[in-house]
Amino acid sequence: MFWEKFQYLAELKGMKPHAVLKELQISSGSANNWKKGTIPNGEILKKISDFFGVSMDSLLDQDNNESVSLNSKKSIFTKLTSIPQRFNSLRAVISTTDDEKLAIAKYIGCPIWWLLNEQNLVFEPRDDEYEIDENVIFTILDIMDGCADNDIDKAMQIQLSRVVIKNLEKQDFNADKLKSLKGIDQNKLNFILTGKENKDSTLNFGLNFTDLVYLKSVTGIEYPQMFLEKNTNDNL
């Protein structure tokens, strides 16, 4: 599958596969391995994705459906050295019960129908009393850390991402500042903000846990504040 995508992208660029290999200084032996079904290492993947102007996700994706299966969904990582270890730990989103979904909706201050439907673009939290609940936070982080392989999990990731963006804005880190960050895929961010789908379906998803870690590092905003309208002194 990777070799077929490589050939296709080379054709779109008006080049022969061997010419791309020569341009990128990749051995023909590597190509022979790809033809047998192997996948390049992280460093070569990054080099190829940069050359073709596509995400590493799209190079590895084997499914064109909006909800990409676990085996084909791979996350983009800033540090290439983390890729092999991270691939081994990828998993589907942990299944949540109806009660857990309701608890999340109550925690972030939204109706359950808003949480489960990605067509609802605007997050307007209810002005309810709340309590810090570490169990709910950990459930949310589990959702964000998994690979969405069904429409409900995908919708929750997208809606929770919109909650994060809204709450960052209330803490003086608005969408314009997010758009200036190199560590967040801007095509994915635009999809979250507008609902306008990308041609690359792997970018039509919410933020992942790696994105949250990055946002935490550049904003100094802790996870509870990302998902709650009001500030709290509790840190995770």
Show the tokens assigned to 221. Answer: 């905003």
pLDDT tens track, the chain, 236 positions: 688 888 888 888 888 989 999 999 998 888 888 888 887 776 787 888 889 888 765 676 544 433 333 343 444 444 344 445 454 555 667 788 888 888 898 888 888 888 888 988 888 876 665 666 788 999 999 999 888 878 888 999 999 999 999 999 988 899 899 999 988 999 999 999 999 999 988 889 999 988 999 999 999 999 888 998 654 444 44
Q: What angle do CA 180, 110, 217 make, to 5 degrees?
A: 30
Cα separation of 45 and 47, whole Å?
Answer: 5
The span from the CA of 211 to the CA of 223, in Å, is: 12
C-alpha torsion angle, residues 167, 169, 172, 175 (rounded to 10): 140
C-alpha–C-alpha distance, residues 186 and 190, integer Å: 6
User: Domain residues of the chain, as ranges?
Assistant: 2-54, 98-227
Instruction: Kindly report the backbone phi and psi dihedral angles of residue 92, in degrees, each rounded to the nearest multiple of 5, phi listed first.
Output: -70, 160
Separation in Å, CA 100 to CA 107, 114, 123, 140, 162: 10, 15, 20, 10, 19
Round to whole Å and give the CA distance between 196 and 3: 30
Q: How many CB atoms lie within 10 A of CB 125?
A: 17
